[in-house]
A and B are shown apart, each in its own frame.
Chain A
Amino acid sequence: MQLIPCPWCGPREEAEFHYGGQAHVAYPEDPSALTDEEWARYVFFRENPSGPFAERWSHNAGCRRWFNAVRDTRTHDLLAVYRVGEPMPEVTA
């Protein structure tokens, strides 16, 4: 059970959170202007790195806020958490 530091509530157990996959994937400005390939990219394709990964979590059973985190997918260690809208911080894995 990981301890995830919610930017608002502080550290809470993973069971209170919902995972949201890769962070910083913006909804396309104008989907109708995209090719099928580009649209498929948005709908189905996400980064899946082995190493630091900017991802989204929601503190579902707590403050219900979405926030971002950088986590090393090899160790599962959280390297940083930051709020939606904030840039991804520099981290060292």
Chain B
Amino acid sequence: MTSPPGAHLPEHPDFLWDDPEPKSSYDVVVVGGGGHGLATAYYLAKVHGITNVAVLEKGWLAGGNMARNTTIIRSNYLWDESSGIYEHSLKLWEGLEEDLGYPILFDQRGVLNLAHSLQDVRDSVRRVNANRLNGIDAEWVDPAGVKEICPIVNTSPDVRYPVLGATYQPRAGIAKHDYVAWGYARAAHEMGVDLIQDCEVTGLETAGGRITAVRTSRGRIAAGKVALCAAGHSSVLAKMAGIPLPLASHPLQALVSELLEPVHPTVVMSNAVHVYVSQAHKGELVMGAGIDSYNGYGQRGSFHIIEQQMAAALELFPVFARAHLLRTWAGIVDVSPDASPIVGLTPVGGLYLNCGWGTGGFKATPGVGDCFAHTIAHDKPHPFNEPFTLERFTTGALVDEHGAAAVAH
């Protein structure tokens, strides 16, 4: 090896953020210091000039799903509504490193979504065609094409569920989750946003149908507007304002191997065999496991899910046999009935909602941060998040992405 692995990892630009005492009042309080909360604060300051903003985080900054996700970024969703917001996000990813002035290891190594049944093939082709008409780079590749893009995939026809082909998005890829969060945090902090950790929101105060303040473990904070970015805890928070949400919070696990020489040049996802895997920059295989069926806020899942995941992984990647599992963990994902997010206004004036991203919201971080900031600043949804209202569950205008989202992240 010419240069040791990891040598190219960034030197972290020095100062990140302060640990200020909360002020007694802010123009906008963002609840939840994950990727979405931080990005929202960043675009509020940068695009809308709103800097009297606090991001309140109950634990350590970006320690929720942001610290736990498998970092897959893509925009090849089925419906026009989804294409809109995810592709907007992907475009922002493409300039994000420069925008933030912070290395985020955004790597457009492409994502393969494998098809294993004739119906998978139909669904995949349908999605590829829809993507292309929506201006999203998407391709259908046959098993030989899969092998070319990722030689270690077992494309032989005699496996239990042979690979019949795949969709491929070349512009898709991965980024280093922590660096993304720190990049946003650092930039938001520089523009005057207060990042307040160990500050749990315990109540939402309203008067005359408008939000007035949040109660926190560090005292009451008055707020002109409050934006919820609490991912897995969204139901709990919204309930504080009397707003029921159609969400279920589930454990979702992921795992890594020890460091390995490069074997896996892209990202591979398979719904049917249930695998999604990439090899991170340092060399560890990063793999997502299935969702646990039950609601859970414990940030831990059941081990049989991991075992199933390993069996599936070896079906597709026999070379992984003697890779070793190094660490497993879990996040809390907020799953919505149609596998699409809820982003927009609420019945309470000045209270805004961003949730329901379930197993796939990392890729949306810049896009939703931008659109949500717009929504907050203008008290009106950005066109890209307009379809993702809470009302859709009443009207029936769902954006059912189960096919494109499923286990896929």
Report if B244 contacts A (CB, 8 A): yes
**Contacts of A50 on B, CB cut-off 8 Å?**
233, 236, 249, 297
Assess the A48–B249 pair: CB atoms within 8 A.
yes
Cβ-closest 4 pairs across A and B: A48-B235, A19-B293, A44-B246, A40-B394
Q: B378 at interface (Cβ–Cβ under 8 A)?
A: no
Give the shortest distance, in Å, between A12 (CB) and chain B (any CB).
13
Interface size on B, residues (CB 8 A): 24
- Tell me the residues in window 229-268 of chain B with beta carbons closer than 8 Å to chain A beta carbons: 233, 235-236, 239, 244-249
- Docked Cα-Cα span, A77 to B253, in Å, equals 18
Check: A15 CB closer than 8 A to any chain B CB: yes
Taking CB as reference atom, which chain B residue is nearest A40? B394
Given contacts A1-B304, A40-B393, A45-B393, contact A18 B295 (CB under 8 A): no
Q: Are B246 and A45 touching (Cβ within 8 A)?
A: yes
Contact bitstring B297-314, A, C-beta under 8 A = 1, else 0: 110101110000000000
Contacts of B300 in A (CB 8 A): 76
Total contacts A-B at CB 8 Å: 62
Contact of A73 with B248 in the complex, beta carbons under 8 Å: no
CB distance from B122 to the nearest CB of A (A): 28
B296 on the interface (CB 8 Å rule)? yes
Indicate whether A74 sits within 8 Å of B297 (C-beta atoms), given known contacts A14-B302, A36-B394, A37-B394: yes
Q: Which residues of A (22-74) have their CB < 8 Å from a CB of B?
A: 36-37, 39-41, 43-50, 53, 55, 71, 73-74
Residue on A nearest B305 in the bound complex, by CB? A1
User: Mind listing 9 A-B residue pairs with CB under 8 Å?
Assistant: A45-B246, A46-B248, A48-B245, A48-B248, A50-B297, A74-B298, A76-B294, A76-B296, A76-B298
Which residues of chain B are near A43, meaning CB under 8 Å?
393
Extra 18 A-B pairs, beta carbons < 8 Å, given A45-B244, A48-B295? A1-B302, A1-B303, A1-B304, A13-B304, A14-B304, A18-B293, A19-B294, A21-B295, A36-B395, A47-B235, A48-B248, A49-B235, A49-B236, A50-B249, A50-B297, A55-B294, A55-B295, A76-B296
A4 → chain B, closest Cβ, in Å? 10
Q: Is B224 an interface residue (CB 8 A)?
A: no
Q: Could you tell me how many residues of chain A have their Cβ less than 8 Å away from some Cβ of chain B?
A: 28
A92 at the interface (CB under 8 A from B): no
Q: Which residues of A contact B295 (CB under 8 A)?
A: 21, 48, 53, 55, 73
Does B337 sit within 8 A of A, measured CB to CB?
yes
| B302–A71 CB distance below 8 A | no
Chain A's nearest CB lies how many Å from the CB of B41?
24
Q: How far is the CB of B15 from chain A (nearest CB, A)?
A: 35
Task: Please name all residues of chain A whose beta carbon is closer than 8 Å to the beta carbon of B247 when the two chains form the complex.
Answer: 48
Interface SS of chain A: mixed
Q: Which residues from chain B contact A15 at a C-beta distance below 8 Å?
A: 304
Q: In the assembly, what is the distance between CA of A89 and CA of B122, in Å?
A: 49
Q: Are B293 and A46 in contact (CB under 8 A)?
A: no
Cβ contact of A45, chosen from B233, B245, B296, B395, cutoff 8 A? B245
List, in ascending order, chain B residues with CB within 8 A of A37's CB: 394
- Interfacial chain B residues near A45, Cβ < 8 Å: 244-246, 393
Contacts of A39 in B (CB 8 A): 394
Closest to B336 in A: A44
Give the shortest distance, in Å, between B304 (CB) and chain A (any CB).
Answer: 5
Interface 0/1 of B84-101, CB less than 8 Å to A: 000000000000000000
CB-nearest residue of chain B relative to A37? Answer: B394
Closest A residue, CB atoms, query B297: A50
Bound Cα distance from A63 to B302, whole angstroms: 22
B337 touches A44 (CB 8 A): yes
The interface residues of chain A lying within 8 Å CB-to-CB of B236 are 48-50
- Least Cβ distance of A3 to chain B in Å? 11
**Across the interface, which residues of B come within 8 angstroms of A44, CB to CB?**
246, 337, 393
Least CB distance from B171 to A in Å reads 34
Contacts of B303 in A (CB 8 A): 1
